């Protein structure tokens, strides 16, 4: 059956475009063990590098003796801060406007900080050499509690900043203070609280955790002394940014730096920034003239690469006695560790935390965030969330439950009463964001009806009565989370990284036979870009997705882009793809008009080509047009069909969702069983429903881990006590609950295809749903707020303290 005789539905199905449950094309290589990761790459003469790391969290370095290591056969070089100083590379800029020691310069500021980089012929010799380097320390006082960081007698944690009263984001109040960032109307908010019938106030802490991707951070640098060119393979979420940073640091011209990110095995924000291993590998390759590979182990990854969260949020809500919110006031103490290395846009030291008003119509609000230094690993990445949105969602969703408890209202009813209404969109929040679209009441009602919410509340009440009578030792919690996320960084008016606007890009080229190669500035870490990007192009250009090849991660071939994190792929790169395709379609229409000998205005698009209006038998498919573009273009029109688009979005996008968690808790063991978890997401236009479900399943599994036990812990001396999978909770299929997914569709009005992004929504919404379920279970025993994480020991302790 040829194209002309197929029905419209058959032709659309053949494309496997937007809306199709197309199988992931990436999985063929991944499931057969044919992925190409950094550690799979072997270059001739390749050396290996690794670090000597500090056993102390805070200490002066009195002496480094590397003589025994240098004498070991096979050791090529030992690099310390002293060797980097003549190159000006012993400190490097961070994305947050701070500076960070590449190798410890006279002192260490967190446990496992990098002190020396050993380069040897293989990893075994490198590991042996590390043990032979003697470092003499003088221990210093340690601060791991951010609430003690700005005490009057607190030790100076950053002597390089001593005396500086102004930082990258304004005035510093204390020698361990980084910034204060405030937004909103403080005076109006204070007045709202003074007039409120009811107020609540709670310290809500979101503990330190870690993205822990499948593959750790890795780098292979190869400097060609003859050409003066540097090639870097690495686990980079933003290859072009790494290239720019490498050029600024090394002074090698950017056109002579080639950055390649192959399969990187998960990112979740962990692979956005630049790490010491990257810098040292590059320096070592330049010095030795040979390729140098650095691959960190799991303990190094968990203890030294960028952490997530560590926000301590004093949350206050004002309301009327019938439950209408009238004001929100939040102060955050943000623990940034030893250096401010947060991966946030330049103008946003606390990320997009001012989405903390959530899905609710707060008339006034005020937010203040203080960042402080401690003796912990630096970072602060968007672990499957968009720049601190997860912390904000947890803050407001716990706050709304606490308010409902004080008012004696059902938490679902309180939310329904305060949602932004559909007719209020585009909605201007009290803290400065313009929400693009939404129908929160519809989503919430659908979720409540689907799970039988009212009946669950009756069951919970009956179980509470049975518990009081001593008939059961099990209690029941119903956790609600209704979140609005802000993604798609971002508009150049709001967002940049190191001065580079956060646009993204796409280049699409149709070959003469009608197949396509498309290259993007984004970089997949497992989201399925090779599948979904082809689906967007298939719908836009009428060429089957199987005939479209997607390339990412190579700065030599891809147009400049800001990478993949913060759920910005679909909102920004996806839009660039659609816009580039439309440029091609416009040219294709002119060629089709020439071939059909009609005006281009007499043509209309029909699935996979152009047809003459009123005479559909006269048509040209895109494959026919592609052939003609190379062989018989109209006079005066250059041959070929290709386009590049750099997309600077006019606004962020605002996906949202309604999540419900039903949990049963045994108070004698602290074991919490998730009986049911229902997740309704609205991400606008759904490109591939199957991939969306996979993203939601993965994000919910991470949310489950974070809420129910995952934590990077420190003791009072700054020792990391959660730096291996023996101590860091990573759920398997055994522990992970079953997920139910659902959706509504509210397209974004400003996005070319109406898509909003979904990859991070389940982490944003999932964590408060789990935590609210645990807290809800204990409310009838008098509890107001139980801090995360909710592992069995902490739950048992809570039950014991409440006399259960």
Confidence label for 6 from pLDDT (cuts 50, 70 and 90)? confident
**At residue 655, does pLDDT exceed 80?**
yes
Averaged pLDDT, 51-72: 98
Per-residue tokens: 742: 């659902």
pLDDT digits (tens, 9 = 90+) for 667-696: 999 999 999 999 999 999 999 999 999 999
What local confidence, expressed as pLDDT, does residue 3 receive?
59
Q: Which residues contact 463 (CB under 8 A, 6 or more apart)?
A: 472, 474, 475, 476
Q: What value does the mean pLDDT take over residues 796-804?
A: 96
**How much is the mean pLDDT over the chain?**
96
Buried b (16+ CB within 10 A) or exposed e, 233-270: bbbbbbbbbbbbbbbebbebeeeebbbbbbbbbbbbbb
- Closest of 302, 308, 236, 232 to residue 274, by C-alpha: 236
Which 8-state DSSP code applies to residue 571? I
CB atoms under 10 Å from CB of 412, counted, come to 21
CA–CA dist 141, 717 (Å, integer):
8
pLDDT at site 219: 98
Instruction: Name the pLDDT band for 722 (thresholds 50, 70, 90).
Output: confident
**Does residue 4 surpass a pLDDT of 70?**
no
User: C-alpha distances in angstroms, 326 versus 194, 454, 537?
Assistant: 11, 27, 46
Q: Give the separation between CA 779 and CA 758, rounded to whole angstroms.
A: 32
Quick one: what percent of the chain has pLDDT higher than 70? 100
Could you tell me the CA-to-CA distances from 581 to 54, 232, 429, 645 in Å, in that order?
Answer: 52, 31, 34, 9
Q: Is the peptide bond before 490 cis (omega within 30 degrees of 0)?
A: yes
For residue 566, what pLDDT band results from cuts at 50, 70 and 90?
A: confident
Give the sign of the dihedral formed by CA 267, CA 270, CA 274, CA 278.
negative
The C-alpha atoms of residue 604 and residue 613 are separated, in whole angstroms, by: 6
> What pLDDT was estimated at residue 1?
35
Looking at residue 497, its pLDDT comes to 87
At residue 325, the pLDDT reads 98
Average pLDDT over residues 348-354: 97
366, containing H or E segment: strand 365-372
Active-site residues, by number, are: 237, 384-385, 760
Whether the predicted model's global pTM rises above the 0.85 cut:
yes
Contacts by residues 790-793 (CB-CB < 8 Å, ≥ 24 positions apart): 790/672, 790/707, 790/708, 790/709, 791/670, 791/708, 791/709, 791/729, 792/669, 792/670, 792/671, 792/672, 793/670
What is the pLDDT at residue 591?
98
**Residue 532: DSSP 8-state:** H
3-state DSSP call for residue 623? helix
439-482: pLDDT as tens digits: 999 999 999 999 999 999 999 999 999 999 999 999 999 999 99
Place 739 in a pLDDT band, splitting at 50, 70 and 90: very high
Q: What is residue 42's three-state secondary structure?
A: coil
**β-strand 134-139 against 59-65: which pairing, if any?**
antiparallel
Kindly list the strands in the beta sheet with 257-260, ordered across the sheet, starting from the edge strand earlier in the chain: 75-79, 114-120, 47-53, 292-295, 218-224, 229-234, 257-260
Helices (H), 85-182: 123-131
Give the model's confidence band at 2: pLDDT under 50 very low, under 70 low, under 90 confident, else very high: very low
């Amino acid at each position: 059956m040829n194209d002309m005789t197929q029905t419209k539905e058959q032709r659309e199905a053949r494309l496997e475009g937007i809306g199709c449950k197309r199988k992931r094309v990436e999985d063929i290589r991944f499931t057969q063990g044919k992925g190409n990761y950094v550690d799979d790459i072997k270059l001739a003469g390749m050396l290996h590098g690794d670090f000597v790391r500090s056993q102390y969290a805070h200490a002066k370095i009195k002496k480094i003796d590397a003589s025994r290591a240098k004498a070991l056969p096979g050791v090529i070089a030992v690099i310390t801060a002293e060797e980097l100083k003549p190159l000006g590379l012993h400190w490097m800029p961070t994305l947050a406007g701070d500076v960070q020691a590449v190798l410890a310069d006279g002192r260490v500021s967190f446990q496992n900080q990098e002190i020396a980089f050993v380069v040897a012929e293989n990893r075994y010799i490198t590991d042996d050499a590390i043990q032979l380097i003697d470092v003499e320390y003088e221990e210093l006082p340690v601060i791991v509690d951010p609430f003690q960081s700005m005490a009057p007698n607190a030790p100076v944690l950053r002597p390089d900043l001593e005396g500086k009263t102004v930082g990258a984001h304004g005035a510093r109040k204390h020698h361990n203070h980084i910034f204060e960032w405030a937004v909103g109307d403080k005076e109006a908010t204070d007045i709202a609280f003074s007039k409120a019938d009811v107020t609540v106030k709670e310290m809500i802490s979101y503990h330190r955790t870690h993205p822990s991707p499948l593959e750790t951070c890795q780098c292979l640098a190869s400097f060609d002394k003859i050409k003066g060119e540097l090639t870097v393979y690495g686990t980079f979420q933003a290859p072009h940014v790494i290239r720019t940073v490498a050029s600024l640091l090394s002074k090698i011209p950017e056109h002579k730096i080639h950055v390649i990110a192959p399969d990187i095995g998960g990112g979740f924000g962990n692979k956005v920034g630049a790490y010491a291993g990257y810098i040292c590998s590059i320096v070592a390759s330049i010095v030795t003239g040979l390729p140098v590979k650095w691959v960190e182990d799991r303990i190094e990854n968990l203890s030294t690469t960028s952490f997530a969260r560590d926000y301590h949020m004093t949350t206050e809500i004002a309301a009327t006695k019938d439950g209408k919110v009238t004001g929100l006031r939040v102060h955050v103490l943000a623990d940034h560790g030893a250096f401010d290395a947060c991966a946030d846009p330049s103008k946003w030291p606390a990320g997009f935390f001012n989405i903390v008003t959530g899905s609710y119509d707060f008339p006034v609000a005020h937010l203040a965030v203080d960042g402080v230094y401690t003796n912990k690993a630096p970072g602060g990445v968007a672990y499957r969330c968009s720049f601190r949105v997860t912390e904000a969602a947890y803050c407001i969703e716990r706050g709304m439950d606490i308010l409902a408890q004080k008012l004696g209202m059902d938490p679902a009813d309180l939310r329904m009463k305060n949602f932004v209404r559909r007719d209020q969109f585009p909605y201007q929040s009290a803290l400065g964001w313009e929400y693009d679209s939404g129908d929160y009441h519809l989503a919430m009602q659908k979720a409540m009806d689907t799970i039988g919410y009212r009946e669950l509340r009756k069951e919970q009440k009956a179980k509470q009565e049975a518990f009081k009578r001593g008939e059961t030792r099990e209690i029941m919690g119903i956790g609600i989370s209704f979140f609005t996320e802000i993604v798609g960084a971002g508009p150049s008016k709001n967002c940049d990284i190191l001065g580079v606007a956060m646009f993204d890009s796409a280049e699409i080229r149709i070959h003469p036979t009608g197949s396509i190669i498309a290259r993007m500035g984004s970089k997949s870490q497992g989201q399925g870009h090779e599948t979904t990007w082809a689906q967007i192009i298939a719908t836009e250009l009428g060429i089957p997705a199987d005939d479209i090849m997607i390339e990412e991660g190579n700065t030599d071939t891809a147009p400049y882009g800001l990478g993949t994190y913060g759920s910005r792929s679909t909102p920004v790169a996806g839009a660039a793809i659609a816009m580039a395709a439309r440029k091609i379609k416009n040219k294709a229409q002119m060629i089709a008009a020439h071939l059909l000998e009609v005006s281009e205005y007499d043509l209309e698009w029909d699935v996979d080509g152009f047809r003459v209006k009123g005479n559909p038998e006269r048509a040209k498919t895109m494959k026919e047009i592609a052939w003609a573009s190379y062989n018989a273009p109209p006079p005066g029109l250059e041959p070929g069909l290709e386009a590049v688009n750099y997309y600077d979005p006019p606004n962020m996008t605002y996906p949202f969702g309604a999540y419900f968690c039903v949990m049963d808790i045994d108070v004698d063991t602290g074991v919490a069983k998730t009986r049911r978890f229902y997740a309704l997401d609205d991400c606008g236009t759904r490109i591939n429903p199957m991939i969306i479900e996979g993203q939601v399943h993965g994000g919910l599994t991470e949310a489950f881990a974070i809420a129910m036990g995952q934590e990077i812990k420190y003791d009072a001396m700054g020792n990391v006590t959660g730096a291996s999978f023996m101590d860091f909770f990573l759920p398997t299929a055994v522990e992970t609950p079953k997920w139910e997914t659902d959706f509504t569709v509210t397209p974004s009005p400003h996005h070319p295809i109406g898509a909003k992004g979904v990859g991070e929504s389940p982490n944003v919404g999932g964590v408060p749903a789990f935590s609210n379920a645990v807290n809800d279970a204990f409310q009838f025993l008098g509890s107001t707020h139980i801090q995360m994480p909710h592992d069995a020991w902490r739950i048992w302790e809570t039950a014991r303290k409440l006399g259960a």
